[in-house]
Structure formats: C-alpha cells, structure tokens
Amino acid sequence: MNTSFRFLLDPLFLISLLLHLINRLWLREVFPGGFFTSYLNDLLLIPICIPPILWFLHFLRQRDSTYPRPEEVALFILVISIVFETILPRSHLFHSTADPWDLIAYLLGGLISLAIWNTGIRREHA
C-alpha cells in the first residue's frame, strides 16, 4: 500500500483551508466575537501550514513523502508560538496581541492533526 503523504492534496489540509475561508468570509461576520473571531483560525493553523511547508522541503529533496511526524509538528508549534505570541506583539510593525489561549489552540490543532494523519497511516497499512 502507498503510505505517501499527499501534501497539498491531503484531505485534512483541504478541509481546513475550506473551513478557514468560510470563517474569514462568513462565520466571523455572522457570529462576531468569541471562538470564530479569535480561535478557529488558530486551531486550523497547523493543518493548513504544515502540508505546504513539508511539500516545499520535499521539493528541495530535504524530506521524504511520509506523513508529518510529531517532532515536526511540535517544532512548528514552538516556532509559531514564539513568533505570533512573543515577537510580533512587541513589534511596532504589526497589530498583534499575545494571547495564551492561542497557544492552546495551536497545540490542540496540532494534536488533532497528528491524530488524523496517524489514522491515515494506519488505514493505509491495513
């Protein structure tokens, strides 16, 4: 069986991207404030950003086509947490505020993504 990660054709990536667009264009307007305005996009950040980054590394021949590994997801969560919750809020170039709930959303999005991607691995090995 083929156990290759499909990168930009990964179903989780495509569904997350669609949810992000629906949230940006509609849900945030219909339900202002709260989860849709503040946290849904943070929750979707990992499944949206990891596949293109891993595709680029695969394109450069720096990575194989296996599913995202926990350490890759953890590293990405660490980097985005530092950038979005520490560096950018202190910058005068961007309007950004540090929010500890964002960290929870990144972590939860990463854990859910890994669980779904690992389910895909097990399903393909069956």
Whole-number pLDDT of residue 122: 57
Residue type, 10: D
The string of pLDDT tens digits covering residues 7-61 is: 999 999 999 999 999 999 998 888 888 888 889 999 999 999 999 999 999 999 9
Q: Has residue 125 got a pLDDT over 60?
A: no
The string of pLDDT tens digits covering residues 73-91 is: 999 999 999 999 999 888 8
Q: What angle do CA 98, 101, 104 make, to 5 degrees?
A: 120
- Residue ranges per domain, the chain? 7-125
Cβ–Cβ under 8 Å, residues 46 and 113: yes
Whole-number pLDDT of residue 79: 97
CA distance 51 to 63: 12
The model scores a pTM over 0.95: no
Q: Has residue 126 got a pLDDT over 70?
A: no
How many helices (H) and strands (E) would you count in the chain? 7, 0
Cβ–Cβ under 8 Å, residues 85 and 102: yes
For residues 1 and 110, the model is more confident at 110
